[in-house]
Amino acid sequence: MISEQENWSVDVLETEMSGEASPEDKILIRVMFGRLRRILNWNPGDADEEILFDRSRGPEIVWGIREHFVHWKIFACDPNNLADNVGAQHLVVYSLAKLCLFYWIKDSALVAEVLQHVYDCDGHFSSMFSHVVNAPNRNTMWPLLASNPDAKEMQHLCMMFFLSHAHRMKLLFDGRRFVDVRLRFPIRVPPTFVAAIYNKPRMLLMLLRYGASLESISTLGVFGDDWDLWMLLRHLVRILWSSLGPDVDAWNTAVVSSIVSDAWECLRILLRTVRQIPKDELNFTLMNFNAGGITTSRNSHELITNLSERGILPQIVSRYLEPSGLKHLCRCRIRESLNRSWNLPFGIQTLPIPKLIKSYVDLLED
């Protein structure tokens, strides 16, 4: 059901209309908020409501709400002080995004319009990643945690939905693709970094397959990224070190997959996209602590060699301590070329190369 806060937002939306709005415009705008109220209060058990919100009518409903929303912004929002109604705008634009997902809209132009409204409102897509992925059902308004038992699958499908539409329309937001727009929370980094930091290998692979960049903004000040790629790699290496323990002879892929499988998978996926790691970036001391102080320490070079020799990360030596192989460098070059023309990942299938090599280029193989 609609919350008190959401009721307040809708009331603000409806009452904050300029006196310049014509009676006809006011009627159209009230139609939008009446429909939005019904959507937010939608009861899945009500047969009449189910008919009203038949999925086949999804595009019509979303287009209608969007058009009325644009009318409302013209009449209600002072160009010099849009912040007055930002909370109300959030309610509408994120409801539109959720409806696009619920109705599984196939019209990429419509989804692109909604994404543009979200970006115009927020300047980023942090809520798309942290909320939409957790609650794709339209009658739940942005809960913090997923209650769906199939939440992981829904996370993947949700982001695939918006990503594929944005990619198809070749959307740019201030010069950046949807897949590369920096998040503002939980931390200021590209979406790929959030996927790796929170150990979501499937999400990370999907973003990278669509050509997500791993470059960071190193500008000093408020607009710099909180992490860069080398910090991310060091973070994941430390997770492996602290989880595997000091007994190198006991290390194997079965042990890794049972205790830190997601972090391990994220590190493997990242190594498929990194051309070469500068020597100084992974040169650090690893330490494990207990209540009595330092118990074990080791140089990272020794750990990296052991990870490679034990078959846990066989490619890390050739990305770091040795020059990268020609096969890997060719993969990077091919992907760069395809990405410039928006042909990742599907353009790989049109290349005149063996299927096994296509999987390698598509980041499905180490």
CA nearest 58: which of 8, 110, 15?
A: 110
Average pLDDT over residues 89-95: 82
CA distance 16 to 219: 40
CA distance 14 to 26: 9
Query: What pLDDT digit, counting tens, does each position of 113-143 carry?
Result: 999 999 998 889 988 776 544 444 444 433 3
Query: What pLDDT digit, counting tens, does each position of 36-59 carry?
Result: 666 555 554 555 555 555 677 788
CB atoms within 10 A of CB 366: 12
CA distance 184 to 174: 15
In DSSP terms, 293 is beta-bridged to: 290
CA nearest 37: which of 62, 1, 72, 70?
A: 1
CA distance 93 to 127: 11
Residue that is written with structure tokens 């300047």 in the block: 123
pTM above threshold 0.85: no
Q: Which one has a higher pLDDT value, 252 or 172?
A: 172
pLDDT of residue 14: 47
Query: What pLDDT digit, counting tens, does each position of 2-27 carry?
Result: 344 444 344 444 444 444 556 665 66
pLDDT of residue 133: 42
pLDDT of residue 347: 95
**38's tokens:** 């019904």
Which of 69-73, 128-132, 149-153, 262-266 has the least mean pLDDT?
Answer: 149-153
CA nearest 30: which of 9, 50, 10?
A: 10
pLDDT band at 348 (very low <50, low <70, confident <90, very high): very high
